[in-house]
Structure 1
């Protein structure tokens, strides 16, 4: 029988949850090894000075999390576990960098590893707007941003509006890109040790950043139509997350779009379990469907994220967060604390792009280019299994036998193409294997370069892995 005892002075929140969290950490640390027997509930209650009811609730929570099993008369035993250790027990920088792309990209490679807006000549428009801003606001550009003009919020209202839904101007926070906005929300609503729900495959930079600041990850299953509500509820019941991060439309990388009934189910589950929702609509806004946002169904708990990176210009770093009532000021302060502040030049540029109509005009040109490149990809890769959408700058390719996604990524890199394997999108350690890669086609400078890269990918798919020698 183990002699390990929890320290009830640590942590915050209900005592039974703190006890369960400490036991979970001890299990992953090896202090409570697999097969080991937990102390009898009555004994542990006496040893740490709490009621047996508190111990019973903590043990029940561990059972719900799949960490222990118990039988009447035999006691409670620690189960074998395959999940990764909680993020806070790993070196956070190492954990956050796992699977990320190289910081420096060789110039001789065709870039199929990015989905930023294609070059359609927007630099000329941006250059003219920058000159106007420098002329109109020389003092503001030279100093720190001290105030947020109403036009910055109005630009966000215009850009984030979707179908019949539009945010209120006083609920908008301009941000230094979508990612910074998401991290500001996480900072406001969670503390280190709190859990955030992600799909197994998603925009993993958020989950890695969350792990870097001490948040824990809970994974939920998805299918071709997005998040499975039953599994989301399981996670809510068993792990008590504070926030869930979802892309309801044109999910990255799977391109799944949740139907309305599923969005309603997600909204009701979040409401029932008091879970906040972050709805990333970066790609959804590009692939407009006649389906309401989750924010329209649960406005009291849903934050909406959108920006200019995929449809106008990634280098502008323009983004907005639409907040539930009474949260905008808190998110704005958190954004300033974690980014150092919003540069006036970029915020003003973003607002002028939107309010002048230039952002929409650029997006129209980007859409034409993306449509042409997606059609080219469908033609070159015909016969293989992949998901794509005309207005979305990437596809999700299923690899034929016997390819593994990491091996294919290495093979196509050797032939001159950069793309992302499935590990790039894992929000946490997962046993879900898809044997897929994401191929983004917006960054090559010309359609000719896209065609050349697609033909390299096609040739490798046709030849099979026998033609690739991974040993130097």
Structure 2
């Protein structure tokens, strides 16, 4: 550590008011270090002095200092105080090995790219390739839609080719559904911890989000009815299978109750069902229970990979023409090449083989997680397992402490608060078990995460 300087001290006078004091102080400290206002070796004010100066609690200062220390920005020297660290004195993830990303929800590698390469090799020698780049390919996708409709079929849910609107992935499908169902600026009902991609899209479109309380299966009918009456909202966005971030799955009775409420209160539903292919049991889509008021979304990227931007929306008959116009207006069309690849994977049975393998691989990874964190209460139901899961923690602050400590130790997690609707506590962290990392690497990362949780914060950094 560089030689400490006792002057000047850091003397902030005001915190941002748009976030909790702890986070505002942490952000200010981080910003001033990064922009050079706080140089290495500068002593920080004692906790009590800074608390009085800013009009906040001593515990708030302590928490911000502790988190900054876990991030490697500051350090304590016995009897002297707390000081800004120089870059060379800061802890580095490299000291503990390569970064492991448990925060980005990518499908595990199970042979998808090899299967796609085989299809593309065949296409390279097929005259149909030229047609896929022609304007006429838009009409040619009718046959592809039928193939996809057959794949989506399950007991009680049998969409036809005319019901299918192809999209450039599920995110495009969500945007399409909002265009069709929600008036500009209208409130949207969502799970109190919701998909981060939906939060981002709603923010850009200025849709206020109305949180709906959840239990171990997801949103509860009682909380939904209370929220929709209080807010007047007419659109619900939800993920009934392997909800992100919590990995919760609604049972049949819960889905039926949600459908009854939709009819009773005349609301529309955007059903984000991108993980349903991972379900180990046949669960009816909400769209099968109230098809006239539900847009059902699926995606091939959740199996084939993030860069494979193709999805399907099952759209009620009354909205189909409007949906096709909206696709033309926003993207003109979807990729005929990607659609042809999916159709061939489906027709040859290769897609089903990959899906079956993905279920087994995901189940193995979740079981590994459940074994390492077996003593934690309220882990997600082990009957439906995908490649993300939920680690419950006592509070949002505990999740934030874990996030920064893990990051400093070379483990990347989903930032706490990313999924929470304003005023909702996010007492946990989504743990992603996929990506290019093999099973052994994931297991090692989970054991490291468990050691971090079991180690008191004071053992990572001690302040004077």
TM range (shorter): 0.7 to 0.9
Paired positions, count: 366
| Gap regions ≥5 residues in structure 1 | 1-105
Cα 1:288–1:339 change in 2 (3 A) is: farther
Structure 2 counterpart of 1:463: 455
Structure 1 counterpart of 2:414: 420
Q: Aligned equivalents of 1:179 and 1:273: distance in 2?
A: 27
Contact residue 133 and residue 348 of structure 1 kept, 8 A? no
1:129 pairs, out of 119, 144, 153, with 119
Task: List aligned pairs for 1:250-399, cutoff 5 A.
Answer: 250-385=242-377, 386-387=379-380, 389=382, 391-399=385-393
Deviations 1:48-77 (A, max 9, x none): xxxxxxxxxxxxxxxxxxxxxxxxxxxxxx
Deviations 1:5-61 (A, max 9, x none): xxxxxxxxxxxxxxxxxxxxxxxxxxxxxxxxxxxxxxxxxxxxxxxxxxxxxxxxx
Cα 1:470–1:287 change in 2 (3 A) is: farther
**Could you tell me how far 1:410 is from its partner in structure 2?**
1.2
Q: Secondary structure at the match of 1:166?
A: coil
Q: Secondary structure at the match of 2:313?
A: strand
2:163 pairs, out of 156, 165, 171, with 171
Deviations 1:197-228 (A, max 9, x none): 11110212113202212322222111112212
Q: Does 1:190 align with 2:182?
A: yes
Q: Aligned equivalents of 1:394 and 1:294: distance in 2?
A: 22
Q: Secondary structure at the match of 1:321?
A: strand
Q: Aligned equivalents of 1:138 and 1:285: distance in 2?
A: 29
Q: Secondary structure at the match of 1:361?
A: helix
Q: Secondary structure at the match of 1:149?
A: helix
| Gap regions ≥5 residues in structure 2 | 1-93
Contact residue 396 and residue 427 of structure 2 kept, 8 A? no
Q: Secondary structure at the match of 1:133?
A: helix
Q: Does 1:117 align with 2:107?
A: yes
**Could you tell me how far 1:233 is from its partner in structure 2?**
2.0
Structure 2 counterpart of 1:138: 129
Q: So what's the TM-score if we normalise by structure 1?
A: 0.71
**Could you tell me how far 1:274 is from its partner in structure 2?**
2.0
Deviations 1:163-192 (A, max 9, x none): 332212210111111111111111122232
Q: Secondary structure at the match of 2:431?
A: strand
Q: Secondary structure at the match of 2:278?
A: coil
Q: So what's the TM-score if we normalise by structure 2?
A: 0.73
**Could you tell me how far 1:470 is from its partner in structure 2?**
10
Contact residue 198 and residue 207 of structure 1 kept, 8 A? no
Deviations 1:293-344 (A, max 9, x none): 2212111111111122223333222211111123233223223322353122
Structure 2 counterpart of 1:247: 239
Q: Aligned equivalents of 1:315 and 1:374: distance in 2?
A: 24
Cα 1:275–1:153 change in 2 (3 A) is: same
Q: Aligned equivalents of 1:291 and 1:356: distance in 2?
A: 25
Deviations 1:428-462 (A, max 9, x none): 312x3242111111114212211221111011011
Coordinate RMSD, CA, aligned:
2.7
**Could you tell me how far 1:285 is from its partner in structure 2?**
2.9
